């Protein structure tokens, strides 16, 4: 069963899937015990009896319980877009610099509790926290471009200089008057055929790309804060825009080599491993033993595997191209089904369904 802290009550999920309520897509998935298939709540297929349904908070849980993705509603295929009701909330957030009240969300047909739960699950923060951080990121960009402090403060929903100054200082660690050389890590979310991705970049390049359901994702953000000593706020920059375009081309089978700048500081050993990963050609694989020899560390395949697992820029730094000596997949933080999908994609095999956890074993 899914964690009830991140999913609605069973009664609410039952009502949603029986009513084919698309506003719950992305909030939970249902597995049909009689067929071994899992679906979106809005799936057009005939609805199973409630006694034959298991509920999951994300794709990973469903796959690891042995369910296969439905070919009708295609729960792995997000078509590059979040659910329409989430898109409406994001559009509302981008249309105003003022705090969005629950009453405004309701007038737009958005349930405040549901959007709060969706953002906590997929973005690691509430919708209001997302909006607040986004305003701070916008404010920093405006100050860098020479916009006056009055215009920045009032234009981002603050009624006074002191309120803006306090919020800015809490976010970035210094007041807005000292922001000329201030950097921050901006975070955005992309949809992909393998589920949502979270990406982060500073002014030098991309420093994070991970699946949002990966375990210990919060630790990655803590690592970024420690490495770059700056705030992490929702937003976009030129590097994230380029990354999104290149990922679309990659998943379409049209891109073999990424050009987006990367920033991936680590220990000297980790950086040697990650640099070697970047040298593995598209469509090919290497074993952990091969990788160890290539960095002049023969016999240290365990350490290589550990460094491989700490890679913060999935897909672009292709840790999925490293397999066991016998050719089996080995480990992958995003799940072996994703690793198999990526390898099949690069080898020209277009799989409609990912392997089930039983096949992974």
Measured between alpha carbons, how far is 56 from 39 in angstroms, rounded to an integer?
Answer: 10
Give CA–CA dist 107/105, Å, rounded.
5
Q: Is 207 a known active-site residue? A: no
- CB under 8 Å to 107, separation ≥6 — which residues? none
Q: Give the span between the Cα atoms of 129 and 360, in whole angstroms.
A: 38
User: Exactly one of 39, 73, 184, 319 is catalytic; which is it?
Assistant: 319
Q: Tokens at residue 33, please?
A: 């015990």
- Name the 3-class secondary structure at 146: coil
Q: Token digits for 80?
A: 């590059």
Q: How far is CA 324 from CA 287, 297, 328, in A?
A: 5, 17, 5
Contact 339, 320 (CB under 8 A): yes
Whether the Cβ atoms of residue 202 and residue 228 lie closer than 8 Å to each other = yes
Secondary structure of residue 147 in the 3-state scheme: coil
Query: With b meaning 16 or more CB within 10 Å and e meaning fewer, what string describes 222-253?
Result: ebbeebbebbbbbbbbebbebbbebbeebbee
The CB-side HSE value for 82 (13 A sphere, CA atoms) comes to 21
Distance, in Å, from the CA atom of 208 to the CA atom of 194, rounded to the nearest integer, reads: 17
Q: Which residues contact 213 (CB under 8 A, 6 or more apart)?
A: 58, 59, 60, 195, 196
SS3 287: strand
Q: In what order do the strands lie in the sheet with 53-56?
A: 53-56, 29-32, 37-39, 68-69
Q: Are 21 and 42 in contact (CB under 8 A)?
A: yes
53's enclosing H/E stretch is: strand 53-56
Residues identified as active-site: 319
């Amino acid at each position: 069963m899914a964690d009830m802290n991140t999913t609605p009550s069973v009664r609410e999920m039952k009502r949603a899937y029986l009513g084919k309520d698309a506003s719950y897509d992305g909030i939970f998935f249902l597995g049909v015990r009689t067929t071994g298939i899992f679906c979106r709540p809005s799936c057009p297929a005939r609805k199973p009896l409630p006694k034959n349904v298991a509920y999951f908070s994300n794709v990973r849980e469903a796959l690891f319980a042995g369910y296969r993705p439905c070919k009708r509603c295609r729960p792995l295929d997000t078509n590059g877009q979040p659910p329409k009701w989430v898109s409406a909330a994001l559009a509302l957030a981008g249309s105003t610099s003022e705090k969005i009240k629950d009453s405004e969300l309701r007038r737009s047909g958005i349930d405040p509790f549901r959007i709060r739960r969706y953002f906590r699950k997929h973005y690691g923060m509430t919708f209001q926290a997302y909006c607040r951080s986004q305003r701070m990121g916008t404010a920093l960009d405006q100050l860098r471009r020479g916009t006056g402090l009055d215009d920045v403060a009032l234009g981002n929903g603050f009624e006074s200089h002191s309120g803006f100054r306090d919020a800015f200082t809490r976010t970035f660690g210094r007041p807005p008057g000292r922001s000329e050389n201030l950097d921050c890590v901006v975070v955005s979310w992309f949809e992909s055929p393998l589920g949502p991705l979270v990406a982060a970049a500073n002014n030098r390049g991309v420093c994070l790309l991970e699946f949002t359901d990966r375990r210990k994702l919060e630790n990655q953000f803590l690592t970024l804060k420690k490495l770059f000593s700056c705030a992490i706020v929702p937003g976009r920059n030129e590097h994230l825009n380029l990354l999104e375009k290149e990922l679309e081309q990659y998943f379409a089978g049209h891109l073999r080599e990424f050009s987006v700048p990367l920033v991936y500081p680590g220990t000297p050993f980790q950086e040697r491993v990650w640099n070697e990963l970047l040298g593995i050609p598209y469509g090919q694989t290497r074993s952990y033993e091969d990788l160890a020899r290539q960095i002049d560390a023969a016999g240290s395949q365990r350490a290589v595997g550990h460094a491989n697992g700490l890679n913060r820029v999935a897909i672009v730094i292709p840790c999925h191209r490293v397999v066991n000596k016998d050719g089996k997949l080995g480990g992958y933080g995003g799940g072996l089904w994703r690793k198999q999908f990526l390898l099949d994609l690069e080898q020209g095999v277009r799989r409609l369904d990912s392997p089930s956890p039983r096949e992974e074993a």
